Structure formats: structure tokens, C-alpha cells
Amino acid sequence: MERHWTARLALLTGTAALAVLVVFAGLNSILLVAVGLAGVVLAAAGVWWMLTHTGWRRALAMALVVAAPLAVLVLYAVAGLLWVVLLSLVLWALAVSAGRAALVEDTEQGMPERSVRPPERPFLIMNPRSGGGKVEKFGLVEKARALGAEVAVLDPDHPQDVAELARRAVRDGADLLGVAGGDGTQALVAGVAAEHGLPFVVISAGTRNHFAMDLGLDRQDPSACLEALTDGVELRVDLGRIDTGGPERAEPGRVFVNNASFGVYAAVVRSPAYRDDKARTILEMLPDLLTRHSGARLIVRAGSLTLDDPQAVLVSNNPYERGDSAGLGRRERLDSGRLGVLGIGVGNAAEATELLLRGSQGRGLTTATAREVVVDADAPVIPAGVDGESLMLHTPVRCRLEPGALRVRVPRDRPGVPHVAPPMDWRRVRRMALTMGRVAAGRDKA
């Protein structure tokens, strides 16, 4: 019922946004909209030129990005209609927000869970530097040991093979593995847990905690994740795996819990200069990468879909929600058995503008799902970002899923996976808003 009223609010505020323009601007409202769109288009094109050029061309593009919207605002102010435009925009933003909220399904679509007994010999690996020192801040080591867990604290000054550390614990009798650290470390130990059929605990002590978020865990208080050791339930989730090099030089598969990226982003992160000066490195490398003057040319095959020479590709362990493709961290399910594929291929300012304005509807963005994705290139080795770790992989790179391979132990009581509002669909919103009225009318006639 609440969704119907939210849909009505969306229609009401959307209509009010248009009415404000018509009533207070009259025929000038058409000109206002045209000027505003022109400013947005010029600014979006300026962003593309800024990213694909250097020197004085980049300086001019930056000036255009700033000047275009400012010029529009000045024109509105001179005409005495700036307040009209701002009020209309606020109402329109409210309408879109309400409409998307109305489209969120009420039905619970969480992953199946089952009750389990507490582990007898849990083994946890903790990285004291992850998340800016969350392990120490939340007293995770002491709290875990008080619950009977054996804890191995990594030494940042002496890198260790966490996968081998986990395998050694299994040989010593551990019946549960867990990690307090970043997603890259989570993936390595998750692979060992899946290999031995053991449950795995995620402790949200990393910086972004994408995997923890998609499991519905508390990212604000990592210590709450430790409740999985005493009052936990078990989820079966998919595990991504990367095989590289082809049959003649096959390499051991690399596990991923979130995603693997190829192309522009992976190449930039791989640069030795990126760690010392991220912004400068990005601005220096993007022009050649985006215009395809440097970097490997990719060919991506995902089922029947083929992407020829995309600039960037993201392969995810289960697809991201349509309303949050750019967020790269919202997956309602991790047990669909399918990979998500996001490909970006932009050739000029017009295509870049369309992508910036239309988002997932733009021609430069391809979204798909597949059971297997093969990334090939005109180079024997390509950079890749796997759960935030920069790697060099031999081509072809084959990404696949192992459905239900990972047993994840989570607290019985947890925040849950945040809902992602779907893209705006005015037809569905209108139909939803009018449904109550029609049903009520039908009852009255009866």
C-alpha cells in the first residue's frame, strides 16, 4: 500500500515540477529547458575532451566544463527565472527519488540460510592495517580469542602467504576459517575454505567491505561479525575463479569474491606511479588509454555476446543491481550462478555525452550476464584488478563461477543487504499510482 502512495507522490511532484515552469515562465519554459540541456551537453563533452587530451586542449576542456553550467545559471538569473528553475529541479529530483522508491519490491528475496552449530576450532586471520586500523580500534583480536578462536595477526613489515597460513590451520584441525581484512585477502582465504569444504567468516575490517555489504553484514561495527562464531547461520554463495594462459600454459586459478576488471582502470592501477600520485597518474595515462593509443586491445566473449575492443570491462561474481552499476558494490544475491558483465566502449565526445546523460541506457555501456566470460587480447599478458589487487595475467583469461562453492557463516541478526532502487520507469509508476483508485472504483460499483 505504501508503494502506491509513494508512486502518487512521484506523479504529483513530477507534475508540479512541470507546472512551475509553465506557470511562471510561460512559453519561455521551452527555452529554459533547451538552454539547460545545452549546458549539460557541453559540460559532458568537456569532460570527455579533458580526459582524452593534454596540454592546452585539456585546459580549454576544463574551462568549458566550468563555464557551461555557470553561463546557464547567469542566463537564468538575468531573465529573473533562476528561482523557478531551481524549484522545478528540486521537485523533479523528489519525483524521481519517490518513483524509484516505489519501484523497490516489497518481497524479501534474501539468500536461503540454515542454522548451524558453533565451530569448535575457528581460525581467524587479521590484518592490523586494513581499514585504517579497524582491528585494533574495535579490539577484534581480544574479542575473537575470548570466543575461543585462534587468531593469526599479520605482520605488515613481513608479508605472509595468507592462503598457505589458512591451509596450515586446516591441517592442524581448524573447522572454520575467517578474515578481518580487505576483499583481496578475503578471496584468498575463501578459496582455501571452499577447497576444504569449511565454513568461512567475513569480518568487515577492510576499507570498502563490498563483499561484507552484499552479505548483509554490519560494516560500521566489525566486531558484530564475530557473532557468527556463537549464533550464526550459513549461506551458500558462488565463488568466482579466473583461469589464465590457455591449455598450453595454464596457471593456477585465482579466486575472486567481488569482481575482476580489465582495460583502462586495471592499466592505471598497475602503473608504478599510481601509488605515489593517483590523480596525476590517472590524468597522464587516460588520454592514450581512452583513445586506444596505448594498452592492449581486448576481445571479450560472454556467451553469445562479443565485445570488440572495449576500453574497460568488469566481470563480477553475480551481477550488480541495475540501479547501482556505477556503485560496484550492490548485489542483492550471491547465489544466482551467473557472472555479471559491464563493458564500456566510447569512441567520441557524442558517445561519452550520451553515456553520462543516459547512464545504463547509453550506447557506450553494455550489461550482460553469462556463465563464463573469456577476455582475450592482442598481448600475451594484460593487467587486471582482482578484488582490488593489481595482477598481470596471461591471455586468454577465463572467468567462471563455482555455484554454491563457499559456505559463509554470518550472524543470525544482521542489517541485511541494502535495497537498490531500480532505474526510473514512469509507465510503471503511473500504473502503480492508479491501481488503488481503479480497485476502489470497482468495489464501489459492486
Is pLDDT larger for residue 348 or for residue 250? 348
* pTM for the whole structure: 0.83
376: helix, strand or coil: strand
Nearest 5°: CA angle at 277, between 275 and 282?
95
Rounded-to-integer distance, Cα 439 and Cα 446, Å: 11
Select, from the ranges 140-144, 263-267, 349-353, the one with the highest average predicted confidence (pLDDT). 140-144
DSSP label at residue 111:
P
As a whole-number percent, the residues of the chain with pLDDT over 70 amount to 90
Whether the per-residue pLDDT at 440 is higher than 50: the answer is: no
Mean pLDDT, all residues of the chain: 86
Is pLDDT larger for residue 134 or for residue 26? 134
At 337 the pLDDT is 93
CB-CB contact of 257 with 187 (8 Å): yes
Instruction: Bin 367: left if φ > 0, else alpha if -120 < ψ < 50, else beta.
Output: beta
At 9 the pLDDT is 92
The mean pLDDT of 254-274, rounded to a whole number, is 86
Cβ-count burial of 268 within 10 angstroms (0-12 exposed, 13-18 middle, 19+ buried)?
Answer: buried
333-392: pLDDT as tens digits: 899 999 999 988 887 777 777 777 666 666 778 889 999 999 999 999 999 999 888 899
Whether the per-residue pLDDT at 231 is higher than 70: the answer is: yes
99-133: pLDDT as tens digits: 888 887 755 567 889 999 999 999 999 999 888 89
Residue type for 243, please?
A: D
At 1 the pLDDT is 61
142: helix, strand or coil: helix
Q: Using 50, 70 and 90 to split pLDDT, how confident is the model at 226?
A: very high
At 329 the pLDDT is 55
DSSP per-residue codes, 184-229: HHHHHHHHHHHHHT-EEEEE--SSS-HHHHHTT--SS-GGGGGGGG
Q: Using 50, 70 and 90 to split pLDDT, how confident is the model at 422?
A: confident
Please give the span between the terminal C-alpha atoms of the chain, in angstroms, as a whole number.
22
At 442 the pLDDT is 46
At 443 the pLDDT is 44
Q: Measured on CA atoms in the order 74, 75, 81, 86, is the torsion positive or negative?
A: negative
Q: Which of 227, 230, 181 is nearest to 207 (CA)?
A: 181
Question: Would strands 312-317 and 389-394 be described as parallel, antiparallel, or unpaired?
Answer: unpaired
